[in-house]
Amino acid sequence: MDVILVRHAIAHERNRKRWPDDSLRPLTPAGRAKFRKAARGLAPWLPKAAVILTSPWVRARDTARMLADAARHEKPIECIELAGDESVKRAFDLLRARKEGTVVLVGHEPYLGQLLSAALGGERRHLKIEFKKGGAACVAFQRSVAPGQATLCWMLPPRFLRALH
């Protein structure tokens, strides 16, 4: 299974007055514009049979929709397992339940960095990974979808994805 991790696009800064519930914090207009270009750069790399799963938080969900539109894919599926306050273990459980050859996960930091670290190095290793907003990474699981079993195929910052467009 190939797993493509996508960090949500640039969102508004945390503001408890405007968004007491951080899950409702939206993307900025600039974040939307930049990610639309990045999504067009990433879209050709997504197989038609890939499924896009997203955190239900607004900024991730909107990022996933832009990616699905650019790639002409089905509407993203919201998964509570990808919310920013969930355990990485739940992402592995979610992936093991999928049958697709390629799964796209759209989510948050530090969650995606922790997931990538666990996929590559195992549960006890903590790799320091800089995952930029709107960036993407791809890992491949050859045998089992488990910590320490993935191979890094690529990791691209948003600037590079926008240049592919």
Residue 129 lies inside a defined structural domain of this protein: yes
Question: Which sign does the torsion angle of CA 10, 42, 152, 99 carry?
Answer: positive
Question: What's the first-to-final CA gap in the chain, in angstroms?
Answer: 26
pLDDT score for 81 = 96
Domain that holds residue 119: 22-77+87-137
- For the chain, the three-class secondary structure string (H helix, E strand, C coil) is CEEEEEECCCECCCCCCCCCCHHHCCECHHHHHHHHHHHHHHHHHCCCCCEEEECCCHHHHHHHHHHHHHHCCCCCEECHHHCCCCCHHHHHHHHHCCCCCEEEEEECCCHHHHHHHHHHHCCCCCCCCCCCCCCEEEEEECCCCCCCCEEEEEEECHHHHHHHC
Is position 3 within any domain? no
Q: Is residue 123 scored above 90 in pLDDT?
A: no
Q: Is residue 151 part of a domain?
A: no
For residue 164, is it within any domain? no
What pLDDT is recorded for position 103?
98
**What's the domain count of the chain?**
1
Give domain status of residue 118, yes or no: yes
> Which residue bears the tokens 């974040």?
31
User: Which of 112, 12, 4, 106 has the alpha carbon at shortest distance from 60?
Assistant: 106
> Does position 165 have pLDDT exceeding 80, yes or no?
no
The pLDDT assigned to 126 comes to 85
Residue range 39-74, pLDDT digits in tens: 999 999 999 999 999 999 999 999 999 999 999 999
Give domain status of residue 125, yes or no: yes
CATH number at residue 107: 3.40.50.1240
Residue 124, pLDDT score:
80
User: For 68-121, what is each residue's pLDDT tens digit?
Assistant: 999 999 999 999 999 988 899 999 999 999 999 999 999 999 999 999 999 999
